[in-house]
Amino acid sequence: MTRHKIAIVVGSLRKDSINRKIARSICAFSSDMLDCNLVEIGDLPLYDQDSDAGPPPPAFVRFRQEIAAADGVLFCTPEYNRGVPGVLKNAIDVGSRPWGQSVWDKKPAAIVSASPGAIGGFGANHQLRQACVFLNMPLMQQPEAYLGGVTDDKFDADGCLHDGPLKDVVITLAGAFSNWVDIIVRGRRLLAEDSAHAGGAKGG
């Protein structure tokens, strides 16, 4: 199986964010399957449609290029007030513009939401799903990833996940997402090849 390039977008800026730790754990446990890149979003200015009319801010250019270079996107997010954190929504808006040039289009994606609370960021997870559907991102449906009860004691002093059951969940998620990206990318390639062959036959 091809080792696909994955952009990981974390919806928290907190230094000791459990979602950032989960993201890093996914990278560590799936290095043989996924080539992960944690894409920073904290330096993105607030999206303003007026910026589409001129040269975009350098941070916009950097962010869009990193997403565009990826084969798939993995979101790891907390839930703020039953919804997506503002910094993540801003990143989604930045990547979707200018109109008709969205870097999210057709990127296979998965959503992981983690929280110390029991519902595991359910509200943010589903709000983000709505945006991904609109942005034409094929979403992995199973396994669902609402990680509740995730606290700092699940990680060691270096931020590495050491909780056995949670580690098993993360490894399962990484494997499923690797398969999902592979299916979408290979399927798209086969469709392109079939289309090219059909065009060649018609031309002959």
**Total structural domains within the chain:** 1
For residue 52, the domain's CATH number is 3.40.50.360
pLDDT by residue (tens digit) across 30-59?
Answer: 888 899 999 999 999 999 999 888 899 999
State the average pLDDT over residues 78-91. 95
**6 phi and psi angles, rounded to 5 deg:** -120, 125
Q: What's the whole-number average pLDDT of the chain? A: 91
**Positive/negative CA dihedral, 22, 24, 27, 30:** negative
pTM for this structure? 0.90
Query: Which pLDDT score is estimated for 200?
Result: 62
Domain that residue 81 falls in: 4-203
pLDDT of residue 194: 67
Rounded Cα–Cα distance for residues 4 and 70 (Å):
8
- Nearest residue to 73 via CA among 46, 47, 112, 42: 112
Judged by DSSP in three states, 159 sits in coil
Kindly give the pairing relationship between strand 34-39 and strand 146-147.
Answer: unpaired
Per-residue pLDDT tens for 96-143? 999 999 999 999 999 999 988 888 898 999 999 999 999 999 999 999
Determine the pLDDT at residue 202: 62
Tally of CB atoms within 10 A around 88: 26
Q: Is the pLDDT of residue 197 over 70?
A: no
Position 8 scores a pLDDT of 98
Peptide bond into 98 cis (omega under 30): yes
Chain centroid, CA 200 distance in Å: 37
